[in-house]
Amino acid sequence: MKSQIFMEFSEGRYTYINDTNKGPPDAIDIHHIIISRSSVQSYIFYVFILLSATFCFSFSVSHRCLSSLQDQSIAFLLIFSLAVCLVKSWRGKRVEKESVTILPSFGVQLETTYRSGRTVRHFVPISKILKPVLNECVTPVTCYWSLSLIIREEEELLLVFKELHPPITMLVPIWKALCAAIVSGEFTGVHSN
Amino acid sequence: MSKQEKHRILMVSDFFYPNFGGVENHIYYLSQCLINLGHKVVVMTHAYQNRSGVRYMTGGLKVYYVPWKPFLMQNTLPTFYGTLPIIRTILIREKISLVHGHQAFSTLCHEALMHARTMGFKVVFTDHSLYGFGDVGSIHMNKVLQFTLADVTQAICVSHTSKENTVLRSGLPPEKVFVIPNAVDTAMFKPAPERLSNREIVIVVISRLVYRKGADLLVEVIPEVCRLHPNVRFIIGGDGPKRVRLEEMREKHSLQDRVDMLGAVPHAKVQSVLITGHIFLNSSLTEAFCIAILEAASCGLLTVSTRVGGVPEVLPDDMVVLAEPDPNDMVQAITKAIQILPQIDPQEMHTRMQTLYSWHDVARRTEIVYNCALRCSSQNLLERLSRYLPCGAWAGKLFCLVMIVDFLFWRLLQLWQPDRNIEVVPDIYLANHPRDKTSRDSNIYDHLR
């Protein structure tokens, strides 16, 4: 008989959802990190694009590069289409959700869902994972925690959450679940050999 | 007696491992001894080639290698406000109570102290070198130092001469400056197990062969000593632009069998070179404090040194022979040293050094400075600005403007990313780490539950 464990909590803009199916054949563990929309960021971005477009247009007009109305309208169309392209590419990059699906003795699936509806998935077999690690990443302006996987025979670490920076309180349960899955995966591997 | 409170200290400098030198050693040994006393120490420095991010060293010492590229002589590019976000993040996530900056020549140190003061933290500054007053570089450096030290809580210098120099350069009131000399790791610098025979006297020189370290004096002194004393040999370790002059001197006076040039000696091998000699020769033209002669004395060598800077304060009179930085005076001093050499007992010298200098003592004295700093009252922005105005007619107003902009930038950052959004890092203790006996054993899981 299937039994489901469901856990959810929020911190700031991030929401953590844990969905575990404990039924046969094996428990499938899914962890979601959802980021809420930030209206402040969107408005700042739109205002910035509008101001830049206006500045470019008025700059070109005031410097008399465009004398006739025809030239001005072409310039206006060009700048407008450039702005639209920028807005579209920015919207396309906005992430809605990142998920980790742990399939015991099989592998781990990493999934990124964008607001445009596009989903990118990456599967890692359990035998390739050496260990999940919690790392502190230092950038020139900030420092944050990240969860990564050490992959056998690879030099680079594989980031579990490529776009989002969730807080450590959300990363720890996922890290524990990954550690448990790796350990049981090794145990099963030994038996099958 | 009330329990001593434990501090959480951030050491900031551009100079740290994997780079090697006096300041780097000082920060490392001081941090280790402070950790032994129960405090928490975090070090912040810039990234070295591909060493970037967080590293843990012995004893749980956490080091942040912040990815700001060095631009000139190991110093980070001074952007005034560029380092404020990362410094604020580190100060909040590690729950730092006090910031300790090292070395006047480090731009990262000056910026960190400025931002820490803006955010209301107490700061301590340690000056490790003597600087001049006359040339253009020194004048600008002293102005920057005046700015940083106008609002520092306490300052530490490594010798009384260095204190005088710092007070004159920065206009700091002398009551705020403590003198804590450097120390030496006597466990690493032990004398030779067997006493060397006095038939042939070996004089050891280990220093960077640059103008400041008196390499030109060596060129004059060595041939004269070799002429006067036929049983004397020299061993010269170290490298630098003046090496060529020493090689020429060797050729000119045919001293190839009496002067050995070893080239650059890694610090781990310094002790093995020192114990092959009887006398250590230091010919520096300027020195705030000379750790090299401490290392030599710890290995049981009699020291001959120039009487400059803080050198006379370092060793007792019976362990050192001082001379003016003049070739004739130095030759006379070496002659005197050779005469008193039979009275020297290396083991006894080493034992005396163990009692005189120890990093644990330095850490205890630094702890007193920290306690003093944390007891000082906090000031608001206006009170702090009034300290910058006396720095100069134009400079004072410029400094005030810089601090006001820094304050506004900090407030803006607080709006963009409030303090509560920066996660605090749980303390990670090592299994055999000496901790406060009253605290229960805890590990990272307990902090994160």
* One domain for residues B163 and B238: no
**B224, part of any domain:** yes
**B240, part of any domain:** yes
Tell me the three state secondary structure of residue B99.
strand
Domain boundary among B325, B355, B385: B355
* One domain for residues B145 and B39: yes
Amino acid sitting at position B301: L
pLDDT reported for residue B198: 84
**B413, part of any domain:** yes
Size of interface A-B (CB pairs under 8 A): 41
What ipTM was predicted for this assembly?
0.79
* One domain for residues B221 and B344: yes
What tens digit of pLDDT does each residue of B377-413 get?
888 888 888 888 888 888 889 999 999 999 999 999 9
* One domain for residues B270 and B343: yes
Closest partner CB to B448 (pick from A140, A143, A169): A169
Q: Which residue has the higher pLDDT, B36 or A41?
A: B36
Chain A CB contacts of B52 under 8 Å are 138
pTM: 0.86
What tens digit of pLDDT does each residue of B40-66 get?
999 999 998 889 999 999 989 999 999
User: What is the CATH T-level fold of the domain A3-36+93-187, as seen in this structure?
Assistant: PH-domain like (2.30.29)
Chain B CB contacts of A139 under 8 Å are 67, 86
CA atoms within 13 A on the CB side of A171: 20
| Alpha helical stretches, state H, B229-303 | 243-252, 267-274, 291-298
* One domain for residues B299 and B401: no
**B448, part of any domain:** no
pLDDT reported for residue B328: 95
Residues of chain B numbered 87-106 and touching chain A (CB < 8 Å)? 89-90, 93
**B194, part of any domain:** no
**B265, part of any domain:** yes
Domain boundary among B355, B388, B422: B355
What are the 10-residue block averages of pLDDT along chain A, 193 residues in total?
A: 72 87 74 84 80 82 71 82 84 86 90 90 93 93 93 92 90 92 72 42
Q: How far apart are CA A36 and CA B57, in angstroms?
A: 39
pLDDT reported for residue B352: 94
Q: A138 vs B54: CB contact, 8 Å cut-off?
A: yes
Is the pLDDT at B435 greater than 60? The verdict is: no
Burial class (CB in 10 A: 0-12, 13-18, 19+), A115: middle
pLDDT reported for residue A192: 42
What tens digit of pLDDT does each residue of B116-129 get?
999 999 999 999 98
Q: Report the CATH number that the domain containing residue B134 is assigned in CATH.
A: 3.40.50.2000
Shortest Cα distance from B19 to chain A (angstroms)? 20
Chain A CB contacts of B53 under 8 Å are 135-138
Give the residue extent of every domain in chain A: 3-36+93-187, 39-92
Contacts of B187 (CB under 8 A, 6+ apart): none
* One domain for residues B151 and B18: yes
* One domain for residues B179 and B212: no
pLDDT bin (cut points 50, 70, 90) of residue B433 is low
Shortest Cα distance from A75 to chain B (angstroms)? 36
* One domain for residues B339 and B371: no
pLDDT reported for residue B440: 42
Q: How far apart are CA A130 and CA A132, in angstroms?
A: 7
* One domain for residues B405 and B332: no
* One domain for residues B205 and B81: no
Q: For residue B31, what are the domain limits?
A: 8-183+359-442
Strand pairing partners for B244? none
Comparing alpha-carbon positions, the chain B residue that sits nearest to A142 is B86
* One domain for residues B243 and B111: no
Q: B65 vs A139: CB contact, 8 Å cut-off?
A: no
What is the distance between the terminal CA atoms of chain A, rounded to a whole angstrom? 30
Shortest Cα distance from A140 to chain B (angstroms)? 5
Q: How far apart are CA A38 and CA B416, in angstroms?
A: 13
CA atoms within 13 A on the CB side of B360: 8
B67 inside 8 A of chain A by CB:
yes
The gap from C-alpha B236 to its chain's centroid, in whole angstroms, comes to 24
Domain boundary among B320, B355, B390: B355
Residue located via tokens 């790791």: B185
Q: B66 vs A140: CB contact, 8 Å cut-off?
A: yes
* One domain for residues B166 and B205: no
Comparing alpha-carbon positions, the chain A residue that sits nearest to B88 is A142
Give residue B120's region: left, alpha or beta (phi > 0; psi -120 to 50).
left
Chain A CB contacts of B68 under 8 Å are 140
Q: How far apart are CA B221 and CA B334, in angstroms?
A: 9
Residues of chain B numbered 24-63 and touching chain A (CB < 8 Å)? 52-54
Using alpha carbons, list the distances in angstroms from residue B211 to B208, B238, B286: 9, 13, 10
Q: Which residue has the higher pLDDT, B20 or B221?
A: B221
pLDDT reported for residue B449: 44
Chain A CB contacts of B64 under 8 Å are 138, 143
Structure tokens given for A142 = 């900030």
Please count the structural domains in chain B: 2
Shortest Cα distance from B46 to chain A (angstroms)? 10
Task: Name the nearest CA neighbour of B67 among B83, B79, B89, B78.
Answer: B83
